[in-house]
Amino acid sequence: MVFINNKKKILCILCIVLFSLMFTGQVFATDTEGVIPNIEVNFGQGTENVATSIQILVLITILSLAPSILIMMTSFTRFIIVFSFLRRAISLQSTPPNQVLIALSLFMTFFVMAPVFSDVVDNAYTPYVEQEITQEEAIDNAILPMKMFMLRNTRDEDLKLFVDMTPDLVLVVDEENTAEEVANSIPFTTVIPAFIISEIQLAFKIGFMLFIPFIVIDMVVASTLMSLGMMMLPPVMISLPFKVLLFIMVDGWHLIVETLLQTVK
């Protein structure tokens, strides 16, 4: 009986609270009517303000796609893959950290792509801002240097693969045709995957060459430990200092960075 009485009391209290909330809500609604100002969103009056808003929207979209553009259309993929192979070959799990390798690859990419970016700014961005060319001409002038850079660093067999699989596209390469004419005749969607495959292929080749001297050190250390009867001692623990010492003696970072920069055409 006590439990039933308590239950009835709780229900009564809840009803009173709900009734009071409904009443106060109506009071606040009548009191604040005409006090709170209406907020209107205005995107600008006139065609100039609308065009500016659209330009800002396009700019934000491009900035959101910037990481993908950086990976697909520059040599960043080649650099980061080679550095990952190097860290794996030395048997270092997290040294240098990923942030350091990404930052180094990023600034190397900016260094390599500086002439291309300058060409895009001089021939596309600056004339468009000064209203000397249209938006379509600016896009074409911006795409052409990027496309020519990717074609210079794309293997012929990779490019031929995607050209053959693209319907209604016949690539005719003649000595009389300039690099710009060849670049204009190939769609952007055909150049990008061929370029990415070529970058990955070249990065794997360089990574394989990096593994060879460090594998030799691992084999020598492993055979030495087995001959001494130390089969319970991990060979990686002993070979790691020797691999790091070898990498320091040959000035490995300088050689790798120099080689990577020289492979970019």
Structure tokens at 143: 């795409």
| Half-sphere exposure at residue 91, Cβ-oriented, CA atoms within 13 angstroms | 16
- Please tell me the pTM assigned to this model: 0.69
Q: What is the pLDDT of residue 37?
A: 45
pLDDT of residue 17: 46
CA-closest candidate to residue 202, choices 74, 90, 77 = 77
pLDDT for residue 201:
92
CA 187 to chain centre: 22
pLDDT confidence of residue 178: 63
Tell me which residue of 182, 183, 179 sits closest to 140, measured CA to CA.
183
Q: Express each pLDDT in 199-249 by its tens digit.
A: 999 999 999 998 888 888 888 888 887 887 777 777 777 788 888 888 888
pLDDT < 70 regions, the chain: 1-51, 168-179, 181-184
pLDDT of 182: 67
Predicted confidence at residue 6, as pLDDT, reads 52
First to last CA, the chain: 91
d(CA 253, CA 83): 10
Asked if residue 260 lies in contact with residue 82, where contact means CB atoms within 8 angstroms, the answer is yes
Q: For tokens 């190939």, what's the residue?
A: 186
pLDDT for the residue 38: 46
Q: Which residues lie closer than 8 Å to 90 by C-beta, 6 or more apart?
A: 214, 240, 243, 244, 247
> 3-class SS at 125?
helix
Q: Please tell me the predicted confidence (pLDDT) of residue 44.
A: 46
Helices assigned H by DSSP within the chain: 2-31, 47-64, 66-73, 76-89, 98-120, 126-129, 135-152, 156-165, 179-184, 188-227, 235-249, 252-263
Contacts of 200 (CB under 8 A, 6+ apart): 77, 78, 81
